[in-house]
Amino acid sequence: MSGQRDCRLVLLGPQRRPSLDKVVAGLHLDGPFATITAGWQEREHADEELDRHLGGRATNLALWSRRQDVLDRDPEFAAAHRRRAVELTDLQELYLIGVRHTSRALTELRAQVERSERAQRFALSDAEEVLRSLDRRHLERVREINAGFYDATRPHEHPLIAAHRAEVAQLLTEAAAVVITGGHVGELLDALHLFNVVPAGLERVPVIAWSAGAMALTERVVLFNDNASRGPRAPEVYDDGLGLLPGALVLPAAHQRLHMQNTERMSLMVRRFAPAVCLPLDPGARIDLGPDGSLPGSAQVLDESGNVSTFDAVSGRVAADG
């Protein structure tokens, strides 16, 4: 994991028992703070507790409300936005059919214990490569749809969007730190991109993020839920993130939302998304990245066996194997 950052990036576990005030005090941050709660959607401004933890010095960027304002007042952009949403939903659901079938094939192949060990290993390797290929091609198509949308709509030429972007940029310039909360990661990403909250706008100040906010900072956002009402769902690639956290896959509330005791399933996840490192972020977790964007050696990660280890141990093992 590498990258040039002069400021600190802090990832937290879900804030059910908030520790944000202690984190801010430990970093000697006095504010003002720019907060991004777009993942909360219509509850975006229900941020009184968040503001208290930030010493009453928080300014909500109101990205979700700004986006709703654009969709309400710019019918041409809103129509294009709806068309893109439908196409992306169709693309995601069709991709998931392939992922589900390939995941079932892997389960069936693992059960073929009476077969030649070598032949079974080859078959499993081929099926895993099919899964990785589905992921790669899906993300490429998501990028194509998004690029086509922005090329066609040219948001910077819409006066209302341009005005919102200018206001957001000014608020970010005035902030001593940025706090990004959880919620719906798709809504959060859409608002971040629409109002041009790009890495260049975040790299000059410390960023504290958790749950969907932490996911949005990665290069590749992956959705997962082994405890879905209809049974475990295979992890699914969703979209590009902002890329502030390269080489990492963030797994908020991992022990709640993943069958962590199923090391075979966890091991597949590690191999599938390699070389990215899988970071379980459970309640109480905290990871402070170094000035260069590197993970601390003590950070908890999943290793190739599907067990929780440390970044130092995994990195050492990779170096030894190399």
147-167 pLDDT, tens digit each: 999 999 999 999 999 999 999
The answer on 260 and 203 residing in a single domain is: yes
Question: Kind and range of the H or E element at 21?
Answer: helix 20-26
User: Does any domain span residue 298?
Assistant: yes
The answer on 81 and 43 residing in a single domain is: no
CA gap 308, 45 in Å, rounded: 37
CA gap 234, 236 in Å, rounded: 6
Q: Which residues contact 177 (CB under 8 A, 6 or more apart)?
A: 24, 27, 29, 31, 33, 34, 205, 206, 207, 208
DSSP symbol at 43: G
User: Does any domain span residue 4?
Assistant: no
User: Does any domain span residue 309?
Assistant: yes
CA gap 306, 268 in Å, rounded: 8
For helices 159-174 and 63-73, angle between their N-to-C axes, nearest 10 degrees: 170
The answer on 63 and 98 residing in a single domain is: no
Average the pLDDT over 82-105 and give the result.
Answer: 97
Both structure tokens of 199 = 């890495």
Residue in the structure block whose two tokens are 């930030």: 54
The answer on 308 and 283 residing in a single domain is: yes
CA gap 205, 296 in Å, rounded: 19
The answer on 250 and 144 residing in a single domain is: no
- Is a pLDDT exceeding 80 seen at residue 146? yes
Q: What is the pLDDT of residue 2?
A: 39
User: Does any domain span residue 2?
Assistant: no
CATH number, domain containing residue 190: 3.40.50.880
* Structure-model confidence comparison of residues 82 and 205, the more confident one: 82
The answer on 83 and 230 residing in a single domain is: no
Q: What is the pLDDT of residue 202?
A: 78
- Is a pLDDT exceeding 70 seen at residue 72? yes
CA gap 107, 101 in Å, rounded: 10
The number of distinct structural domains making up the chain is: 2
The answer on 50 and 81 residing in a single domain is: no
Q: What is the pLDDT of residue 1?
A: 44
The answer on 184 and 264 residing in a single domain is: yes
What single-letter amino acid sits at 43? R
pLDDT band at 7 (very low <50, low <70, confident <90, very high): low
Question: What is the percent of the chain where pLDDT is above 70?
Answer: 95
Average the pLDDT over 72-92 and give the result.
Answer: 98
User: Does any domain span residue 3?
Assistant: no
Q: What is the pLDDT of residue 200?
A: 65
Average the pLDDT over 295-316 and give the result.
Answer: 92
- pLDDT by residue (tens digit) across 16-69? 887 899 999 999 999 899 999 999 999 999 999 999 999 999 999 999 999 999
Structural domain ending residue among the three candidates 125, 153, 181: 153
CA gap 44, 47 in Å, rounded: 7
Average the pLDDT over 231-247 and give the result.
Answer: 90
CA gap 253, 52 in Å, rounded: 24
State the residue range of the domain holding 310: 9-72+161-321
Average pLDDT of the chain is: 92
Q: What is the pLDDT of residue 316?
A: 75
Cis peptide before 155 (omega within 30 of 0): no
CA gap 160, 70 in Å, rounded: 7
